[in-house]
Amino acid sequence: MACSNLTTMWVSSNPSLSDSSSLSFRSVLNPLPLPNHNTSPSRSSSVAPIQSSLRELRDRIDSVKNTQKITEAMKLVAAAKVRRAQEAVVNGRPFSETLVEVLYNINEQLQTDDIDVPLTKIRPVKKVALVVVTGDRGLCGGFNNFIIKKAEARIKELQGLGLDYTVISVGKKGNSYFLRRPYIPVDKYLEAGTLPTAKEAQAVADDVFSLFISEEVDKVELLYTKFVSLVKSEPVIHTLLPLSPKGEICDINGNCVDAAEDELFRLTTKEGKLTVERETFRTPTADFSPILQFEQDPVQILDALLPLYLNSQILRALQESLASELAARMSAMSSASDNASDLKKSLSMVYNRKRQAKITGEILEIVAGANAQA
């Protein structure tokens, strides 16, 4: 009787036999297909084809979390700096606007057509100097790429017109770009700094002033990124020299640009969400009396005011470029944070599926072993 029981147990536990109990036992031990078998891909692999172990997935999820924290912090820092950059632009407006009023009233009273002022002298254009303002850092989307493409397009236009040109690069990204392209003539490499001041603007103005006065170039154009809003900026080209006799800023087509109004953008919270408030700010300027008399020679006054006004316009361009760079970095870091959040969700889903499959397999093995010993 005992022998027959042993024989029955040996027969039922022998995996080489092909009876129904043996087949069911093998299917319990191997509920999941082996990776070497030619099986159709599962639904989880079609959703997120990430082949990694559980430890690698955990490390990758932690890495994505840390990256998201960094991008969130950079976004908040850029948002705070954008506000300060806009305030710097607005704080410099009274000085610039007062200079415009002084230049305008002097020219109205003295009829500057008969006065020879070097900075306003228009000569036949044979060579053009391009002042290209870029950023010092990356991680700001296509900010630097857009202004560099604008400069390349302008260079092609000048070459098509048969004009010579030279470049004055301001910013580390522009410097590295032009250094890798020795066929583009560059007069000087300058750096704008993290917070542009009159010192950095004066360095650019001195180089531009010397090139124009010595008649090495007949026209100076300023290429920078104009700050429009937190999500929009425009690469623009303005004629820097010769200056307009009345002190306006003009583009390359001679159209004067009124820059008396500025817009401030504030980041606030409304109903628990981050929103942007826009405020238009116009700098008040005082009118000069028509009976105003000047003690010094008007030519001397113009020679002193025009370089000062040139410096203020370069400083404003540097400040607007910085505001545009910070806004672009804030937008890029916001997109990076959103992408990190989506990637973290995808990795967590794959990790949970793998972990559940592993736990299910272990439970089935335990149950199968218990059934085999029963």
Q: List, by residue number, the catalytic residues.
A: 140
Which amino acid is located at 241 in the chain? L
Q: Report which of 141, 195, 193, 155 is spatially closest to residue 171, judged by C-alpha positions.
A: 193
Tell me the residue ranges of DSSP E strands in 200-320: 219-229, 232-241, 249-251, 256-257, 261-270, 273-282
Kind plus residue range of the DSSP H or E element containing 188: strand 186-190
Residue 293: exposed, middle, or buried by beta-carbon count in 10 A (0-12, 13-18, 19+)? exposed
Find residue 224's DSSP bridge partners. Answer: 236
The answer to whether the beta carbons of residues 68 and 340 sit under 8 Å apart is yes
Is it true that the peptide bond before 242 is cis, omega within 30 degrees of 0?
yes
Q: How far is CA 147 from CA 238, 261, 277, in A?
A: 13, 23, 27
How far is it, in rounded angstroms, from Cα 186 to Cα 183? 9
Phi-psi region of 87 (alpha: psi -120 to 50; beta: other; left: phi over 0): alpha
Nearest C-alpha neighbor of 237 from the set 134, 119, 154: 154
**What is the spatial distance between Cα 200 and Cα 179, in angstroms, rounded to a whole number?**
21
Helix, strand, coil percentages for the chain (3-state, nearest 5): 55, 15, 25
Best CA proximity match to 237, nearest among 146, 118, 328: 146
The set of residues, in sequence order, having a beta carbon less than 8 Å from that of 327 and lying 6+ positions away, is: 78, 82, 227, 229, 230, 231, 233
End-to-end CA distance of the chain: 19
Structural contact between residues 288 and 102, judged by C-beta atoms closer than 8 angstroms: yes
